[in-house]
């Protein structure tokens, strides 16, 4: 299994359903989504699936890029990211917020908005590309897939903007050394009741 070739390609809209299923499984225990979507309350699985579906539809509608990693014709990892040159539409963001509120509740939307409104104090988001989601299918971790896809994502973003910085966020401190091996360092640590959120940026 480990010896078969891993192919990383662009991931267009027709693969939305496959990508959604993968991310929904990969982020089942994610602390950030758990906090935003009230994992302790009934219906978390449905809220998580709804939120991810809303975001992926928004990402494709906004014509932002995505990559998929394939092994033996199976989609085993996905990456969704936003180059700094992408300017988000206030109209589309408002529509995304309404869809999230309908399916996940206004309280969940408030927490998601709170995270979006707390950028690193010294780095304007407009000058920084963002990795929004990167996930490996459960059961395929430990094969180097995540590293390969992250390298491809960074390469893609640097082709677009060679001098630009790249950021991502995580609520899982165990992931920080992994990102550190790919040139990221912690730039901010945001404390909320029930969540510590880390913002990392390329050095």
Per-residue pLDDT tens digits for 120-175: 444 445 579 999 999 999 999 889 999 999 999 999 999 998 889 999 999 999 99
| % residues pLDDT > 70 (the chain) | 94
How far is 136 from 75, CA to CA, in rounded Å? 9
Contact of 153 with 116, CB cutoff 8 Å: no
**Burial classification of residue 103, based on how many CB atoms lie within 10 Å of its CB (0-12 exposed, 13-18 middle, 19 or more buried):** middle
* 1 pLDDT tier (thresholds 50, 70, 90): very low
How far is 128 from 151, CA to CA, in rounded Å? 17
- The terminus-to-terminus CA distance of the chain in angstroms comes to 34
User: What is the residue-averaged pLDDT of the chain?
Assistant: 94
* 88 pLDDT tier (thresholds 50, 70, 90): confident
3 pLDDT more than 60: no
Give the count of beta carbons closer than 10 Å to the beta carbon of residue 64.
16
Tokens representing residue 123 in the block: 């780095």
> Among 10, 177, 167, 158, which Cα is nearest to 79's?
10
| % residues pLDDT > 90 (the chain) | 86
Write down the pTM of the prediction. Answer: 0.93
Per-residue pLDDT tens digits for 98-131: 999 999 999 999 999 999 886 544 444 557 999 9
Per-residue pLDDT tens digits for 178-195: 999 999 999 999 999 999
The dihedral sign for the CA sequence 114, 112, 32, 101: positive
Contact of 65 with 129, CB cutoff 8 Å: no
* 203 pLDDT tier (thresholds 50, 70, 90): confident
53 pLDDT more than 80: yes
Minimum mean pLDDT range among 10-19, 84-93, 191-200: 84-93
Check residue 163 and give its pLDDT.
82
Is 3.40.630.30 the CATH classification of the domain at 6-202? yes
- Tell me the average pLDDT across 70-83: 96
């Amino acid at each position: 299994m480990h010896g078969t070739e891993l192919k990383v390609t662009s991931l267009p809209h027709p693969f939305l359903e496959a990508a959604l299923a993968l991310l929904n499984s990969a982020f089942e225990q994610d602390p950030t989504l758990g906090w935003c979507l009230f994992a302790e309350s009934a219906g978390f699985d449905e809220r998580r699936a709804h939120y991810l579906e809303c975001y992926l539809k928004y990402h494709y509608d906004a014509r932002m890029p995505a990559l998929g990693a394939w092994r033996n014709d199976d989609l085993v990892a996905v990456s969704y990211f936003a180059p700094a040159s992408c300017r988000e539409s206030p109209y589309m963001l408002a529509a995304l917020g309404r869809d999230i509120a309908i399916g996940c509740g206004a309280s969940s939307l408030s927490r998601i908005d709170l995270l979006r409104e707390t950028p690193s104090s010294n780095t304007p988001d407009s000058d920084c590309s963002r990795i929004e989601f990167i996930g490996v299918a459960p059961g395929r971790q430990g094969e180097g897939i995540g590293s390969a896809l992250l390298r491809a994502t960074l390469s893609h973003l640097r082709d677009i903007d060679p001098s630009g910085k790249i950021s991502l966020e995580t609520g899982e401190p165990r992931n920080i050394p992994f990102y550190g091996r790919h040139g990221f360092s912690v730039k901010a640590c945001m404390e909320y009741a029930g969540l510590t959120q880390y913002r990392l940026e390329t050095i």
